[in-house]
Every structure is written in structure tokens, then in C-alpha cells.
Amino acid sequence: MAEAISSLVDLSTRKQVAFYTLGCKLNFSETATIARDFSQENFERVDFEGFADIYVINTCSVTDNADKKFKGLVKKALQQNPKAFVAAIGCYAQLQPAELATIDGVDLVLGATEKFKLTAYLNDLSKKEQSEIHACEIDEADFYEGGFSLGDRTRSFLKVQDGCDYKCTYCTIPKARGISRSDRLENVVANAQNIAEQGIREIVLTGVNIGDYGKGEFGNKKHEHTFLELVQALDRVAGIERIRISSIEPNLLKHETIDFVAGSQRFVPHFHIPLQSGSDPLLKKMKRRYLTGLYKERVAKIKQVMPDACIGVDVIVGFPGETEDYFLDTFRFLEQLPISYLHVFTYSERPNTEAVLLQNPVPKHIRNKRSKVLRALSAKKRHQFYESQLGKEVSVLFENENKKGYIQGFSTNYVKVRAPWNPRWVNTTKKVRLTEIDEGGYVRFVLL
């Protein structure tokens, strides 16, 4: 079939492919890996906003908005090229392939394992009267496909783990991605070295449950390595200036890892730790693997050894059975914690989850009201954190995009700064002193 692709490309003009990624950093990492396969087949990658022969949409199933946005993206692609071949891949494609296949304009739907063989399904790029579906049973998603992104000169998302063995009652990810499994340690290190050779200064570790790293590393349930061993190995990779840990479960963020990050020259003092609820009864209904006491203790440990660390939190509002008192428990818990910002998710019913069968659903207007309350708390927490950093000398890595005449950057502890656009600063690190918070919520600085 690969020969058919080559012949298709060689006999006509070089085909153009565009990608759009919905959802998490892991999806971005996988999109980048799949895009490299197209480059090897002599396709030209173009921007999704323009004309392409093929549009690939990497889908997400975490929220209703991601589902709805997919339909808008298909419509947009066909406005740019009515004859374009449209492929849907990823989590939503695995969970609801038949539903995606009914959307006008979708030609191909590939599930959890098939998405990594996308180019093999492109022997015919003509529009289809009926979508073609290839989605395995999720039990068959038991192999590991590594990957990392190279699209941004500043940072790379490095995939180290996939799948999840947790049974959280609101979550569809285990059904979309399969069992927990990990890349081999030597592969992760080799990928990190490859990234370093491209001149990229920051790596962000990604996965579904990265704290579970080591499970399934050699195709079995045994942990061959721990997350701490992964961190220690990556800390030795030369050429990478910063390594950032993305979301990690509180019960899997061990004291040893926190202590190691505190003493590392490469791992930065920034943690994103899902909480989901500040109410212990709700955490039990969610089947989370910790209670608020453990969460509070982890935050205290981080702040003990890294007082200036940035700590982000995921929280869900409107979970079934969330009374006003339970919500207030969550609000007060978060208000008292020395955290830096929140990612607030409004609960939405997802098919084939335990939570959808739970009693006492929260009316949607109350969910939305509670979401606004926590988003306001997040803004307050971020402002307080930024204020605590004023007057301090920090290292800022500047990004490569001109945003309305400004260049933006992040300190090691995730303080967002901006200054008038200066192309010479792109992908460079500057030592600065933080001075004030501007009207847009960014922090101003002076160079040192």
C-alpha cells in the first residue's frame, strides 16, 4: 500500500496535508509524529487555515466542546477545499467512530492503534459517499507508539507513557486509549537527545498518567523503571535547558521526585496536579486514588523545598451529587492552598461512564455558575502568585510568535511575561527582574 501512496504523489502534484489537534499535549505529540510520517511519504505539510488535499483532525473526547468543535473544523476544511479528503483520528474516533462517520464530509475514521498507520489508508483520496471506519477493540491497544513534537522551536512535547489503568467514574480515556503502557527508558532518552540536537530548549513530558511510567515498558504489567528513574535519566541529557513535568496524579508524585526536582538544574519548579474535588465524599464517588489530606500534604512538600514553585490544579464542578456544601468544601480547600492557578472543567455526561448513571445530577445552570466562581478564584490565585514574584530575578525563555506586537515568555516557574516584539529574543533565555503586572495580566520586567 505504501507503493500506492508513492505512486499517487509522484504521478500528480505533491499532495498537501494539514493537521488540527484538539485536546491535550499528548495529542499534540502524536500529531507531530504522524505528520513526520507524511513528510517521509513526500507530502507537504501546510497550515489548516489554507488549502490542502488532506485535512487530518486529531480528536478529543474529554469535553462536549471538543466534540462540537470537530464538526466546525470539518466544515471549515471543506470550505477551503470542497474536494478535500478529511480524516478523523484519536480519542473521539475510537470511542464514537460511527457517530463521526455520519458527519458530512468525513471520509476516514481511525481509532487508537490505526491512527499511527494513517498513510497506509490513503491509496485513494477521492471523496467517499460513506465514511470508511477502522477502529479496533480497545483491548487490542496494547502496544506502545512513541513520539515527540518538533513544530515549536522553543519547546517539545515528549511522550513517555500512554493509556490508563485507573477507573475514575467520569473518564472515558481508558476506553479511548487502553491500558497503561510506557516507552522504554532508552527510547525516551534517545528521543530527548534528538530534541536537544534540534536546538529546542524545553521539553514537556506528556502521557495519560505519566506518574505510572515504567508499567508495560516491556509489554507486561511489571514496572521495569519508576517515574523517578525516568526523571533522573532525563536530567543527564545534555543540551536541554529545561524539562517540565505535565499533569501528574498526586498519589504518584512521590517525595523523592519532588526532592530531586528541587535540586535539579534542568527540571523546573512547576507542577500540575489534578485534584478534581475538594470534597472527600465526592473524591470517593469519582474513584480517585487519594483524599484531600494527601493532596494538601503534597502541595505543602513542594512549597517546603521550592517556595517559589508554580502549582496548577485541575478541578471538576457539577459532578453528580455535588451539593452546595460539597462545592463550598472545594472552594474553601482551594482558597486556602498555596496554589497558582486552576483549570476548571464543567462536568458533562459522557456515554459509557459510571458517573452518567449516578443519581442527583446538578442542573446545568448551577454547574455553569460554580464554574464561574472557580474561574474567578483562579484569576485571584494567579494574580497573588505573580505578585509574590515581583522583585525577583528569574530566567525567561522567550517564544517565537509575534502576538499583536508583543513577544511572550515564561520563567522557569511559569510566570508569563511580555515585551514589545523583538525577533532577536526568539528562543533565547534572558535573566530578568520582574517589576509589575500589566493591564493584560502579564508581568513586566527589566533585563539584567
Q: What are 75-125's pLDDT values in tens digits?
A: 999 999 999 999 999 888 888 888 888 899 999 999 888 898 898 888 888
Res. 9 pLDDT band, cuts 50 70 90: very low
Going through 207-350 in order, the beta strands assigned E by DSSP cover: 242-245, 270-276, 310-317, 341-346
Q: Are residues 119 and 193 in the same domain?
A: no
Q: What cell was used for 305?
A: 523545598
Q: Are residues 357 and 415 in the same domain?
A: no
For the ranges 90-99, 259-268, 294-303, which has the lowest average pLDDT?
90-99
pLDDT at 64: 65
**Quick one: which of 134, 165, 411 has its CA closest to 287?**
165
Q: Are residues 105 and 24 in the same domain?
A: yes
Q: Are residues 264 and 333 in the same domain?
A: no
Find the length of the chain: 448
- At CB < 8 A and 24+ separation, what contacts does 251-254 make? 251/211, 251/289, 251/290, 251/294, 252/209, 252/211, 252/212, 252/227, 253/211, 253/298, 254/227, 254/228
CB atoms within 10 A of CB 197: 9
pLDDT at 182: 94
Distance of CA 238 to the CA centre of its chain: 25
Domain CATH code at residue 374: 3.30.750.200
Q: Are residues 254 and 310 in the same domain?
A: no
User: What is the count of structural domains for the chain?
Assistant: 4
* Amino acid in the structure at residue 357: L
pLDDT at 176: 86
Q: Are residues 227 and 295 in the same domain?
A: no
Edge-to-edge strand order for the sheet containing 270-276?
Answer: 270-276, 310-317, 341-346
Cβ contact 299:337 at 8 Å = yes
Which residue range forms the structural domain that includes residue 131? 2-136
Res. 27 pLDDT band, cuts 50 70 90: confident
Which DSSP string do the residues of 366-391 spell out, in sequence order? HHHHHHHHHHHHHHHHHHHHHHHHTT
Q: Are residues 342 and 398 in the same domain?
A: no
Q: What cell was used for 446?
A: 527589566
pLDDT at 8 over 50: no
Which of 389, 406, 421 represents a domain boundary (last residue)?
Answer: 389
pLDDT at 448 over 90: yes
Query: What is the enclosing helix (H) or strand (E) of 17?
Result: strand 16-21
The owner of cell 472557580 is: 374
Alpha helices in 15-169 (DSSP H): 25-40, 64-80, 91-95, 97-101
Interval 165-174 mean pLDDT: 92
Which of 268, 303, 324 represents a domain boundary (last residue)?
Answer: 268
Q: What cell was used for 363?
A: 442542573
Q: Are residues 18 and 46 in the same domain?
A: yes
Q: Are residues 45 and 156 in the same domain?
A: no
Q: Are residues 49 and 131 in the same domain?
A: yes
Interval 186-201 mean pLDDT: 94
Interval 275-304 mean pLDDT: 98
Helices (H) and strands (E) in the chain, counts: 13, 20
pLDDT at 175 over 60: yes
pLDDT at 60 over 80: yes
CB atoms within 10 A of CB 401: 12
Res. 67 pLDDT band, cuts 50 70 90: low
For the chain, percent of residues with pLDDT exceeding 70: 94
* Sign of the CA dihedral with 425 first, then 426, 428, and 429 last: positive
Label residue 336 exposed, middle or buried (CB < 10 Å: 0-12, 13-18, 19+).
exposed
Domain CATH code at residue 264: 3.30.750.210
For the chain, percent of residues with pLDDT exceeding 90: 71
**Quick one: which of 252, 177, 179 has its CA closest to 216?**
179
Edge-to-edge strand order for the sheet containing 16-21?
Answer: 44-46, 16-21, 54-59, 85-90, 108-110, 132-134
Query: What is the enclosing helix (H) or strand (E) of 249?
Result: none
Residue 107 backbone phi and psi in degrees, to 5: -100, -30
Cβ contact 85:54 at 8 Å = yes
Helix/strand/coil for 55: strand
Q: Are residues 349 and 369 in the same domain?
A: yes
Angle between helices 324-336 and 364-389 (to 10 degrees): 10
Q: What cell was used for 196?
A: 536537544
Task: Output DSSP code: residue 356.
Answer: G
Which of 268, 291, 308 represents a domain boundary (last residue)?
Answer: 268
Q: Are residues 181 and 193 in the same domain?
A: yes
Cβ contact 315:276 at 8 Å = yes
Going through 217-295 in order, the beta strands assigned E by DSSP cover: 242-245, 270-276
